[in-house]
Structure 1
Amino acid sequence: MQKLLLAVDRLSTWVGKAFAWTVVGLTLLITWEVFSRYALNRPHGWVLDAQIMLYGAMFMTAGAYTLAKNGHVRGDVLYGFFRPRTQAAIDLTLYVLFFLPGIVALTWAGWTFAQESLAIREQTFNADPLPLYPFKFVIPLAGAVLLLQGLVEIARCVICLREGAWPSREQDVEEVDVDKLKEMVHVKDEDIAALDSHAARQEGRS
């Protein structure tokens, strides 16, 4: 199982790094257009559309990469104090209630939009139109990779609930150093365990 989880991590990482090269294309394109517009007085109407598509492709495909690296923004200041099983329970609930419905809808709708765009050979609206349908296919691609990575994260939550510890990643990313934060506020692991027990009792009463 661990080999499969890491294999999906590597796939998400590869996709993210591959599309990260679009930033080089963006840099060269913008530099050339600035020179052409202000030095040669020859602006190009299609460049703005190309910039938007390149940036959009990079932005969408970065989702699975960031999830694989555990780098999405969340309330680490509180979350990091919880025991691994409590963290896994919170993550699993959020994945099932919010992540899965949203990403499934994104992938499904994105595939429909891409097919419709291809059927009519959709183009941008300017004097020098660009084909839009290749970019539309990035939407279901990004959604599918993100959905696959999300299923891996759900599997990690289940493993953590069963074993009491998070399975290892190739690269763990932690925005907040929880151990140092515990020392600063003088919090011990026993205090966190007592807080978890109190929360569990309150949930039982409600």
Structure 2
Amino acid sequence: MQRVLIPVDQVSTFVGKLFAWSIVILTVAVSYEVFSRYVLRSPTTWAYDASYILYGALFIMAGAYALSRNAHVRGDFLYRTWSPRRQALMDLVLYFLFFFPGIIAFIFAGYGFAAQSWMTHEHSAYSPDGLPVYQYKTLIPATGVLLLLQGIVEVARCIFCLRRGEWPQRLHDVEELENVILAQHAEAANPTGGRP
């Protein structure tokens, strides 16, 4: 089963990490705008558009990556006290009640927005240069497809957990600070690791 789940996680990870570089480009663009505006007294005409396009791309394209790492916000104060089977059952119900209908609507609406934007070669109306935004709007249905694929994988994980009583392994590349602190406290409380 892992041979089926992990490749989708890897695609989500690759896309998320690729678009994470948007923050570097965004930082350079905003820094240049600040320098140009306050030192050279010549503000750019493209910085506002570039900033919302880059930040938006980073935000939406990281969704599937966050889902693959189980990093989306939930009511953890309740959820973490439940057994894995109960967690999986609740996740499964919520995926079918809210996630899949929302993502399917997101894909169809996003495709409409992107198609219309490409037909009109839409440019931004917020700056004099009017940067093109039709490529950016193409990310909307692309994000939806990535989230749909990752959602299918998450449903498979829920079914696995319902059958086995434990969650299958996930790829890990980052760790919640809370988990790191809890592990450090557990290690400090038991420095021998349970050995006599």
Q: TM-score range by the shorter chain?
A: 0.7 to 0.9
Quick one: distance in 2 between partners of 1:39 and 1:155? 55
Quick one: distance in 1 between partners of 2:140 and 2:167? 31
Q: Letter of the aligned partner of 1:67 in structure 2?
A: L
- 1:147 and 2:137 aligned: no
Structure 2 gaps of 5+ residues are 183-196
- Offset at 1:77? 2.0
Quick one: distance in 1 between partners of 2:159 and 2:170? 15
Correspondence for 2:128: 127
Quick one: distance in 2 between partners of 1:46 and 1:28? 13
Structure 1 gaps of 5+ residues are 181-206
- 1:32 and 2:37 aligned: no
Q: Does the 8 Å contact 1:45/1:128 carry over to 2? A: yes
Q: Letter of the aligned partner of 1:57 in structure 2?
A: A
Identical counterparts, % of pairs: 52
Q: Does the 8 Å contact 1:71/1:173 carry over to 2? A: no
Deviations for 1:111-155, whole angstroms, at most 9, x for unmatched residues?
Answer: 111111001100011321111100000111111111111110011
User: 1:1-40 maps to which residues of 2 (within 5 A)?
Assistant: 1-40=1-40
- Offset at 1:175? 7.1
User: 1:91-106 maps to which residues of 2 (within 5 A)?
Assistant: 91-106=91-106
Q: Does the 8 Å contact 1:92/1:157 carry over to 2? A: yes
Structure 1 length-normalised TM = 0.82
Quick one: distance in 1 between partners of 2:22 and 2:104? 26
Quick one: distance in 1 between partners of 2:21 and 2:132? 21
Q: Letter of the aligned partner of 2:83 in structure 1?
A: R
Correspondence for 2:157: 156
Distance of aligned partners of 1:3 and 1:173 in 2 relative to their CA distance in 1, 3 Å threshold:
farther
User: 1:66-105 maps to which residues of 2 (within 5 A)?
Assistant: 66-105=66-105
Please identify runs of 4+ aligned residues in structure 1 that moved more than 4 A: 172-177
Quick one: distance in 1 between partners of 2:112 and 2:58? 21
Structure 2 length-normalised TM = 0.86
Correspondence for 1:60: 60
- Offset at 1:74? 1.3
Aligned length: 178
Quick one: distance in 2 between partners of 1:128 and 1:167? 50
- Offset at 1:50? 1.0
Quick one: distance in 2 between partners of 1:75 and 1:132? 36
Quick one: distance in 2 between partners of 1:173 and 1:109? 34
Deviations for 1:39-85, whole angstroms, at most 9, x for unmatched residues?
Answer: 11111222101110100000001111111111111122221121111
Quick one: distance in 1 between partners of 2:167 and 2:129? 52
- Offset at 1:173? 5.5
